């Protein structure tokens, strides 16, 4: 197996890039990260059709980041890499090198599944923590619904009641929104966000019907000062777990801690304070959905969409870290 030589810019590349101007944000992100540890983690990936030299996995991973930042499909990413000098420079392609085609990009993404994408997020966060950007004062946990990439099955079908998917995407599930918000077909993304920095420490994806509390313990990092969450996460076993770990309990209390007619004023005040602190995690979902157009998953199947969700969080953290490091 051989890799294409990438990253060596010729004099012509340098002159053309200077004349055309650079994407300042991409250049700064390129300098923000120590890429060698990520490159070592990616070294086992081979991303070329038989008989052609493989593109270096780190270049392909950087292309995946560009895809998230600019909301591009695989064909659009191929076209942008061929057309935009700042994109070529970021991934390390010289002017005379061919860009990976959309099928090569797709194959590479598939090879990030099986936990590799999560390992890359962990390495990035290790670097951000070393720079003092991840504070660990607290972890905000929450979840949000994301639509499936396929049309909804007929409403009222037995599959909706069972939470099952459709033949087009068997992993997508039906659920009913709280407060009369109607039905939703798709997935649910669960995040753990660092209080204060807004950086995403962990992300999980499930079918839409999975209860928020069911996967909550997987989002607790174990090294934070507190865990903050809404009433859906309130349970005696979770409170006991936080106590054992020495983590402050910042989970809002359910109604049974008071009564509807005579609520405990101390618990009401406590919930109000925690609700304000929790607003930071809602901003993260706002960035995902409005800034990155993540109201709808891009692919079919839980595995592919879970990988994309992790890469999306890496992309979000890089941009957020750039803001934090220059503040």
Closest CA to 216 of 234, 199, 200: 234
The alpha carbon dihedral of 307, 309, 315, 320 has a sign of negative
Distance, CA of 319 to CA of 25 (rounded, Å): 8
**What local confidence, expressed as pLDDT, does residue 21 receive?**
46
**What local confidence, expressed as pLDDT, does residue 48 receive?**
52
The alpha carbon dihedral of 57, 62, 64, 67 has a sign of negative
Residue pLDDT, tens place only, 206-253? 999 999 999 999 999 999 999 999 999 999 999 999 999 999 999 998
**What local confidence, expressed as pLDDT, does residue 10 receive?**
47
Q: Residue 43 gets which letter from DSSP?
A: T
Residue pLDDT, tens place only, 71-106? 999 999 999 999 999 999 999 998 888 999 999 999
Indicate the domain borders of the chain: 11-111, 133-296
Under 8 Å between Cβ of 221 and 201: yes
Residue with structure tokens 């777990």? 241
Closest CA to 26 of 85, 90, 73, 113: 90
Under 8 Å between Cβ of 215 and 204: yes
**What local confidence, expressed as pLDDT, does residue 1 receive?**
45
Q: Residue 130 gets which letter from DSSP?
A: H
Distance, CA of 191 to CA of 220 (rounded, Å): 10
Confidence bin at 260 (pLDDT 50/70/90): low
Distances from the Cα of 239 to the Cα of 145, 205, 225, angstroms: 25, 24, 14
Residue 222, judged by CB atoms within 10 A of its CB (0-12, 13-18, 19+), counts as exposed
């Amino acid at each position: 197996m051989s890799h294409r030589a990438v990253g060596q810019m010729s004099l012509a590349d340098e002159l053309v890039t200077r004349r055309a101007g650079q994407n300042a944000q991409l250049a700064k992100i390129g300098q923000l990260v120590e890429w060698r540890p990520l490159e070592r983690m990616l070294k086992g990936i081979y991303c070329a059709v038989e008989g052609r030299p493989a593109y270096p996995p780190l270049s392909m991973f950087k292309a995946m980041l560009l895809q998230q930042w600019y909301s591009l499909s695989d064909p659009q990413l191929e076209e942008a890499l061929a057309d935009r000098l700042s994109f070529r420079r970021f991934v390390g392609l010289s002017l005379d090198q061919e860009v990976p085609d959309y099928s090569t990009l797709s194959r590479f993404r598939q090879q990030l599944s099986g936990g590799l994408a999560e390992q890359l997020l962990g390495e990035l966060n290790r670097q951000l923590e070393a720079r003092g950007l991840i504070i660990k004062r607290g972890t905000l946990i929450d979840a949000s619904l994301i639509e499936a990439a396929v049309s909804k099955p007929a409403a009222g079908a037995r599959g909706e009641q069972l939470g099952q998917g459709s033949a087009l995407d068997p992993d997508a599930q039906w659920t009913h929104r709280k407060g009369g918000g109607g039905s939703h077909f798709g997935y649910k993304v669960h995040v753990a966000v660092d209080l204060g920095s807004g950086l995403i420490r962990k992300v999980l994806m499930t079918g839409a019907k999975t209860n928020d509390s069911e996967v909550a313990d997987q989002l607790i990092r174990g090294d934070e000062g507190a865990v903050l969450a809404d009433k859906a996460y309130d349970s005696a076993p979770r409170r006991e777990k936080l106590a054992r770990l020495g983590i402050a309990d910042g989970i809002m209390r359910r109604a049974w801690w008071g009564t509807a007619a005579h609520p405990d004023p101390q618990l009401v005040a406590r919930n109000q304070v925690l609700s304000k602190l929790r607003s930071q995690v809602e901003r993260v979902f706002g960035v995902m959905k409005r800034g990155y157009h993540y109201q709808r998953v891009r692919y079919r199947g839980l595995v592919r969409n879970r990988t994309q969700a992790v890469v999306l969080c890496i992309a979000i953290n890089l941009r957020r870290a750039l803001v934090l490091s220059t503040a």
